[in-house]
Amino acid sequence: MKKHTYFKIGGPADIVAYPNNIVQVQELIKFCNENNIEFFVLGNGTNLLVRDKGIRGLVIKIDDNLNDIKVDENRIIAQAGAKVSRVAKEALKHSLTGLEGASGIPGSIGGGVTMNAGAYGTELKDVITNVKCVDEYGDIKDYNKDEMHFGYRHSRIHEKKLIVVEVEMVFKEGEYDKIKAAMDDYTQRRNSKQPIELPSAGSTFKRPEGDYAGRLIDVSGLRGIRYKDAQVSEKHCGFVVNRGNATCEDILNLIKVVQKTVKDKHGILLEREVLIVGEE
């Protein structure tokens, strides 16, 4: 699975399937139910840490195999495998505003919806109107924005075993030059402040109320601290990075050190944002 995650970490999966349409997603889920097989849905792997023993059962990969985007006036319908950055470019092409802040998010729209991804004061929920899912029985379910229970890095997808397959977004009309300038500014800020040159899963910790994980880690004296090839980024302390051959165990050990140190010094327990999956 290290080939399928931004962290470049993870043991083998038993089997991976690449559905090319929503019906195939339904068929895979029904097959798993009928044969008592566990399944895990994988998007672009940007916010994921897979354990060293890998993943048992079936991995359903929804990425470039399910990535159609349709634009209808100020409405965009994107399949779950479409990259957030690609959806943002489509919005720009049609002078639609609302996704500028999230334009640099590397993940898929399906994964982004699942965790209500966001950046620079915006979240995907700001433009979403409807989400089409396949439930744990293989049936299609549609949820409007209110029914998605969006919160900070949270959505209904976490509450039920749902698979995002298609997302409808509605935008406001804007000016192409202003939208592009905003996207360029956010891209420049991201490239200059985040350790995009090294494998990671983005922000390792959720933002604690009234503060920032990166700041707390920094003032706790943990900038650049290393456990084998796992390291707190020297460029941005909110990121744990893979310096080369870090294992999942290495990353988890470093995360525990960071959490304990920040808790001891500041009384705040940092909550992981990165999702951990696989056989323990």
Which residue in 196, 200, 194, 197 sits closest to 251, CA to CA?
200
Longest Cα pair distance anywhere in the chain, in angstroms? 54
Q: Which residue has the tokens 């470093």?
A: 254
Please return the burial class of 140, using the count of CB atoms within 10 Å of its CB with bins 0-12, 13-18 and 19+.
Answer: middle
Give residue for tokens 């994107």.
78
| 153 noted as active-site residue | yes
Helices and strands (H, E) in the chain, number of each type? 7, 17
Residues 91, 96, 102, 104, CA torsion sign: positive
Of how many residues is the chain composed?
280
**Helices of type H across 49-104:** 84-93
* Joined tokens for residue 260: 């304990």
β-strands 39-42, 240-242: how paired? unpaired
Residue 156 in tokens: 């209904």
Among 153, 166, 200, 233, the one annotated catalytic: 153
Write down the catalytic residue from 108, 203, 220, 233.
Answer: 203
In angstroms, the CA 123 to CA 78 distance is 16
From 100, 123, 166, 273, active-site residue: 273
Give the Cα separation of 8 and 201 in Å (integer).
Answer: 9
| Residue 203 among the catalytic residues | yes
Determine how β-strand 13-17 pairs with β-strand 55-61: parallel
Catalytic (active site) residue 273:
yes
Q: How far is CA 152 from CA 27, 62, 267, in A?
A: 32, 23, 21
Q: Which residues participate in catalysis according to the annotation? A: 153, 203, 273
